[in-house]
Every structure is written in structure tokens, then in C-alpha cells.
Amino acid sequence: MPYRTMINTFLQRLRISEALCMNMELRSAQMLVQNQINVFTNTMWNDKNKIVWTNMVMPTELFYAAGLTPINTELVAGWTATLNLSSKYISIAESKGYNINLCSYHKSVIGAMEFGHIPPPELAILSSHICDGGNGMVKYFSKRFNVKTMLINIPYHNTRVNINYVKEQLVKAKDMIEEHTGRSISLNAVKQAIILSNQARTYMEKANNLRKKDTLFYGNLAIRNLYGATFLFGSELGKEVTKSYYEQLNRIKGTNGNEYIISKNPHRILWIHFAPLYAGDIMNFFENSLNCLIAFDITGYIYWDELSEDNPIESIAQKVMSHFYLGNASNRMNLYKKIISEYEIDGIVMFMHQGCRAIPGSSWEIQQISKELKLPFLELPGDCIDPSGSSSEQMKLRMEAFSESLESKKLEGVKYVFRA
């Protein structure tokens, strides 16, 4: 398949973004963006044998132990939206016969590949976590480009039998990677990836803890960029990015937040799901104009325990099965309540990304919690990737109404305290 590398709008706009990213408020976000741009403009084209295509929530430690660079499907789609190319790619995918109801994340990536703006991988290992798209992308890669693929099938309940089942699949994935690279993955390499992953996890948790009482920066910055830090867990860069994040927040906290000019009395928001990645103006309106600052977003929650150096594959399997969107709804609801209490949350927003089935389908849990705790709750319909999927003006109207309910609620002056 020919690739239009000489006249490629995706690459051109990425390179422009590299200069713009130097103005980003968070140094950790700068580091992430610079790395992503290098991978997408260089490694993905010139060292395809070093690339493994994957998806969100799939653990990356095994990939880094093998010397591979993981490329995350959702991250690529996010970039297509940020660069105002997603509409074009989605139209291309639909013109090729891909269903209009397919999630825009996956349609945008497919369209970019079909147009030659992104090359297909030589190896793809994805999981079935949360999203049905993992299975679909594996089939697409395999049938369309004859890519070596594997789907890690994730059971719903965290039991010993299911952990062993995932562990067996990870061992097969290890064998597949070794066959692809022609090199064995040493135990020492896996241990080193585990050590680096644990260090990154510690820094991220410490940064999250700093956000519990104080609004140190505009939370949309974390939704847009810092979820990408988890795709680096197991690498040296992952440790450095999370360390930078923690250290900068610690400095801001030391200046009483004066490093950033942020309202001293904002409405503190818990944000569920991702946000519209093409619409920075909407999120700026929410946080700056309406004083609704995202104190925490659920994508930043560290849900797994430290990984074991002595039993790394089983430990990674346990990480896989620890995700809060698996298992009993009551456990997830208790987690939300805990976060609401610890982060002194005033209101909850759930972004109802129209291409997603699983996460918006759990909105009843948030509705129930908001009624129980008497917290304002906004179901915000839209699309993370496709700008044609929603109206920015309607979003702003809903946000304004939500902020008014927050103002009324704040007059009551009652905070929820979680008791386990």
C-alpha cells in the first residue's frame, strides 16, 4: 500500500504542534507530547519492527521489556481530533463501508490508515478491556493488512481462575513478541520494566494526592495529556514524566497555587470519561468562565497495586484484572464515593461519548450516587473525536445550567464524607 509520506497533513500538523507544546503549563505534558510526536513522525515509519499497536488499559510493561514501543489506538485517534483531521478520516472510513455507528476513535484511525497518513503495524496486541473496539481493531489489522495480531480476552470478574486465564494469555503474548523480534525477553528485562512501572505509579499517586485538597491547575490538561503517561509505564521516560508531574505540582502547592492564577473558591468537579479533544474552547469555557475546575478525572485514578518483581507475569495479570470497570457495580460506586470525599467534589460530569457503550451505559451508577449525596450531576452528550457528533453551543448551555446548580448547592455548605 503506498504511503503519502511526502505530502502528509497528519505529519505536518504534528510537527507544528511540537513547537506549540513548549507553551504548555505542565512540563510533564510537554515531555509526553514531544515523545508522541517523535514516535508518530519517526519511529512509526522508519522502525516499524520496533512498534506494537495496542489499546487503552492494556499493560505496557511486557512491551518495554522486549524493547518495543507501544502505540495506543485511542491516543492516535485523540491526535487526529486535536489536529482537526478526525472528520476527514471518519468520512474516509465510512466511505469504505465501515459502519456509521462504529466508535469515532476507531473510525478515525481506520480512515487515517486507509488514506495512507498512518502506516499499519507489523504487530498488534490488544485487550478486550471495557471497549469492544479492541476485538474489531485486531480483526481489521489482520484481515486488511495481514498483521500478526493477538487479542487478550479479559473476563469480567476478578477471581483466581480468571487471573490465571489472563496470565496464560500474557505468556502466549510473550512468546509471540519473542518470535516477532527474534529475541528472548529476559527475566531481568521484565524486572527492570516492573521497577520503572512501580516508580511511575508512585509518582502518579503522590501527584494525585496533592490534588485532593487544592486546585493546582486546570484539570482539562490532565484529561487531554496525562492519561498518556500510563502508556509509558515500564519505561525510563514513564518514570521521568510522572516524576516531573509530581515535582511541579509540589512546587505549585508550595506557592499556594500562585504559580497559576486559579480561583481560590472554584466548583470542584469529578469528570467521568474523556472529553471532546477537538474542542479546547469548550473545556476552557467550563473551567475558566464558569469556574468549574476539574479537581480529578477518573482516567487518572491508579487502580492497581504495586507489581511484583518476583512474579512479574502474574502481577501484570492481576493489574489487568484490577480495573474498576470490571466486576461488581457496588465496588465501583464505593470507589466513586471515596474519590468524591477525598477530593472534596462539588459536582460530577459524565461525558456521554456517543461511540461508547460500556462507560455511558454505567451512568445510572453516577445518577444514584448524585441523588444519594445530593450532588449536582451533568450527563453531557457528545463525542470525543467527531466534532459533527454534537453542538458546542448546546454543550455550553448545559454547562451553564450545571454551574448555576452548583452555585445554589454551594450556599448549603455541606461536604460529603466517605466512611468505608
- Residue 256: burial class (beta carbons within 10 Å; 0-12, 13-18, 19+): exposed
CA distance 359 to 236: 32
CATH number at residue 13: 3.40.50.11890
Asked if residue 139 belongs to a domain, the reply is yes
Residue 133, sorted as left (phi over 0), alpha (psi -120 to 50) or beta, turns out to be alpha
CA 145 to chain centre: 26
Asked if residue 63 belongs to a domain, the reply is yes
Structural domain count, the chain: 1
- Looking at residue 7, its pLDDT comes to 60
- Looking at residue 413, its pLDDT comes to 67
Asked if residue 141 belongs to a domain, the reply is yes
Domain hosting residue 139, numbered range: 9-182
Asked if residue 303 belongs to a domain, the reply is no
Asked if residue 353 belongs to a domain, the reply is no
Asked if residue 42 belongs to a domain, the reply is yes
Listed residue (294, 384, 371, 302) closest to 333, CA to CA: 371
- Looking at residue 119, its pLDDT comes to 95
DSSP 333: H
pLDDT along the chain (420 residues), means of 10: 61 87 88 94 93 94 98 95 95 91 92 95 93 88 96 94 97 97 95 98 97 90 88 97 96 75 84 88 93 95 96 96 93 96 96 81 91 95 87 92 90 65
- Looking at residue 131, its pLDDT comes to 81
What would the grid cell of residue 80 be? 487526529
The 3-state DSSP class for residue 271 equals strand
Asked if residue 224 belongs to a domain, the reply is no
- Looking at residue 420, its pLDDT comes to 55
Asked if residue 380 belongs to a domain, the reply is no
CA 338 to chain centre: 21
Q: Which H or E element spans position 399?
A: helix 392-410
Cα angle 23, 24, 29; round to 5:
140
